[in-house]
Structure 1
Amino acid sequence: MEFKIDTNPTYIQITPVFNSLNANLSGSLREKWTELTQSGSQNFIIDLSNCTTADKDGLEQLVELHAECYSNGQSLVFTGVQGGVLQLMKDTEIDMAINIAPTQVEAVDIISMEILERDLFNEE
């Protein structure tokens, strides 16, 4: 799978260059996340704006990736979720299990707030 990677000081944005969010894409996202985590990255935004279709298996793997990120003390936010994909997420209640931001700016805000929260809790 092909991804566009944008590196920022507090997060890395991963944008799949693929139109179907299926188990293959989700598996490739996990591999890319693992690779970037091993290189020291902690916070991720996944821009799904190119994904116009999805299947349940692909979405369930995103939930697993989200849970794994947070169990490692990392942040993960999905943005750019297209109408049909968002509707499937709502139908399967996956939208309640992951962070979804309507815009890039809001995704960055979520990550910034989570970084602050982790810093505050680690001080105590």
Structure 2
Amino acid sequence: MKVLTEKQEALTIIIVDGNIESADDSALISNAISKVDDGFENIILDLSSVVSIVNSELFGLVEIQENFETEVKSFVLCGLNNNLQKALDEKFDEDFFNIVPTRNEAVDMVYMEEQERSFFN
């Protein structure tokens, strides 16, 4: 599995290339998120190249989501295939994660959430 990053204004896209099958794979994702420069940013996790994820590794995504909620930043998942979507749906409420079909929609969601936060600050 490889993890690539792509920076844009106000967000970083983390692209996972390969399946998430072990704690080491989850650690790679967490490490990529922790290395994002300029402090805590919005993150899009692009899982379009991931075919499967081991159930035990789903909870790593929960920890990441909870950290982003605490920091009042966006964490958006995109590109999930039906199997990944089903695995998340079986374990978590459908509203727990921000999930959209495409990377473009994820970028739009981040910018909309940023605008929304600016209205309430």
Query: Is the pair's TM-score, using the shorter chain for normalization, greater than 0.5?
Result: yes
1:52-84: CA deviation from partner (whole Å, max 9, x where unpaired): 011222111101101101211211100011121
| Matched residue type, 2:115 | L
CA distance in 1, matches of 2:55, 2:94: 12
Q: Which 5+ residue runs of structure 2 have no aligned equivalent? A: none
Compute the displacement of 1:39 (Å). Answer: 3.2
Question: Using a 3 Å threshold, how does the CA distance of structure 1 residues 21 and 12 change in structure 2: closer, same or farther?
Answer: farther
Q: TM-score, normalised by structure 1?
A: 0.86
Alignment of 1:52-63 (within 5 A): 52-63=51-62
Name 1:23's counterpart in structure 2.
23
Name 1:13's counterpart in structure 2.
13
Instruction: Give the share of equivalent positions with the same residue, in percent.
Output: 26
Q: Is the 8 A contact 1:14 1:45 kept in 2?
A: yes
1:72-122: CA deviation from partner (whole Å, max 9, x where unpaired): 121110001112111111121254311111111211121011101221111
**Count of matched residue positions in the alignment of Structure 1 and Structure 2:** 121
CA distance in 2, matches of 1:86, 1:77: 13
- The answer as to 2:112 corresponding to 1:113 is yes
Alignment of 1:25-104 (within 5 A): 25-36=25-36, 38-93=37-92, 95-104=94-103
| Matched residue type, 1:80 | G
Q: Is the 8 A contact 1:47 1:79 kept in 2?
A: yes
> What RMSD over aligned residues (CA atoms) do the two structures have, in Å?
1.8
CA distance in 2, matches of 1:19, 1:55: 9
Q: Is the 8 A contact 2:47 2:77 kept in 1?
A: yes
